Amino acid sequence: MKSLLTIKDAVKTIYNDNQNLNILDGINLTINPQDFVVVLGTNGAGKSTLLDAITGANTLTSGKILLNDEDITQKNLPKRSRYISRVYQDPKLGTSPRMTVAENLLLAKRRGLPRRLRLRRLKDHMEEFKSFTKDLPTLDNRLNTFTDKLSGGQRQTLSFLMAIIQQPQLLLLDEHTAALDPQTSQELMELTNKVILEKKLTCLMVTHNLSEAVQYGNRLIVLKKGKIVLDLDQEAKSKLKEVDLLEYF
């Protein structure tokens, strides 16, 4: 099978306390289309640095990143954002507060176009956005609500919808449910799983939640001090229990 994402010998070195430190220390990772990979790791293990390297928010010191066999290592973040989407932990990131839910959805739908063109003909899209949000109790009937009036959970659901509206080649979830209360967090996680499976998305999801890590995804990797120390395929993951993961923390 042709891989979707390949990371080859990725190293990120920073200068800290008068010495060089590899915060990514020789990462090799191949992700196949429709993989849903859960990424676990202690604080400071390098998870966000790895996602930054994939999106282009940060450059690698050495190594390569290939998407569909194309070397994207030197491409900048705006170019990569046409096919890689990311949802952050902070519900305020990723949505424009002074715009309505519908306007935000339209911005995301037209990502890549100049901003002045992106908000045209909103009315033409209202029916589509209504059907897009109608089964979501958090956003149903809120298309004309300004985003800064939404709760954290509603805003994070919107961020998620914006990330998937253009069917990204790769979806990156960076602890996207961590700031929400347990009920809202579970609802968003269930929506996430449903959409990933229905739309056949390829996803890399960082979480600190061991029960989510066991329950979701078809592959699990654990990062420690910038290295992959565990990589389980679907079969090995299906036998995994939360307690098995504790030794890595």
Which of residues 18, 19, 20, 43 is near ligand ATP by CB under 6 A?
43
3-state secondary structure of 222: strand
Which of residues 28, 44, 93, 151 is near ligand ATP by CB under 6 A?
44
Tell me whether residue 106 or residue 173 sits nearer to ligand ATP (CB atom).
Answer: 173
Hey, what are 148's tokens? 């800064």
CA gap 246, 249 in Å, rounded: 5
- How many residues touch ligand ATP (CB under 6 A)? 11
23 forms part of the interface with ligand ATP (CB under 6 A)? yes
Tell me whether residue 90 or residue 125 sits nearer to ligand ATP (CB atom).
Answer: 90
91 forms part of the interface with ligand ATP (CB under 6 A)? no
Strands 84-87 and 5-16 come out as unpaired
41 forms part of the interface with ligand ATP (CB under 6 A)? yes
Tell me whether residue 143 or residue 213 sits nearer to ligand ATP (CB atom).
Answer: 213
48 forms part of the interface with ligand ATP (CB under 6 A)? yes
Stretch that binds ligand ATP, among 45-53, 72-80, 101-109, 188-196 (CB under 6 A): 45-53
Half-sphere exposure of 117 (CA within 13 A, CB side): 6
Beta bridge partners of residue 12, listed in sequence order:
24
CA gap 68, 31 in Å, rounded: 10
20 forms part of the interface with ligand ATP (CB under 6 A)? no
Q: Name the amino acid, one letter, at 125.
A: H
Strands 5-16 and 19-31 come out as antiparallel
CB 56 within 8 A of CB 42: no
Which of residues 7, 29, 40, 46 is near ligand ATP by CB under 6 A?
46
Q: How far is the CB of 52 from ligand ATP (least distance, A)?
A: 7
Query: Alpha helix (H) ranges present in the chain?
Result: 47-55, 77-80, 101-109, 115-118, 126-133, 152-164, 182-198, 210-215, 234-238, 242-245
CB 193 within 8 A of CB 226: no
Stretch that binds ligand ATP, among 39-47, 67-75, 153-161, 236-244 (CB under 6 A): 39-47
Which of residues 4, 40, 49, 162 is near ligand ATP by CB under 6 A?
49
Q: Name the amino acid, one letter, at 177.
A: T
Tell me whether residue 22 or residue 34 sits nearer to ligand ATP (CB atom).
Answer: 22
Q: How far is the CB of 29 from ligand ATP (least distance, A)?
A: 15
CB 26 within 8 A of CB 50: no
47 forms part of the interface with ligand ATP (CB under 6 A)? yes
Which of residues 14, 113, 197, 229 is near ligand ATP by CB under 6 A?
14
Residues near ligand ATP, by CB under 6 A: 14, 16, 23, 41, 43-49
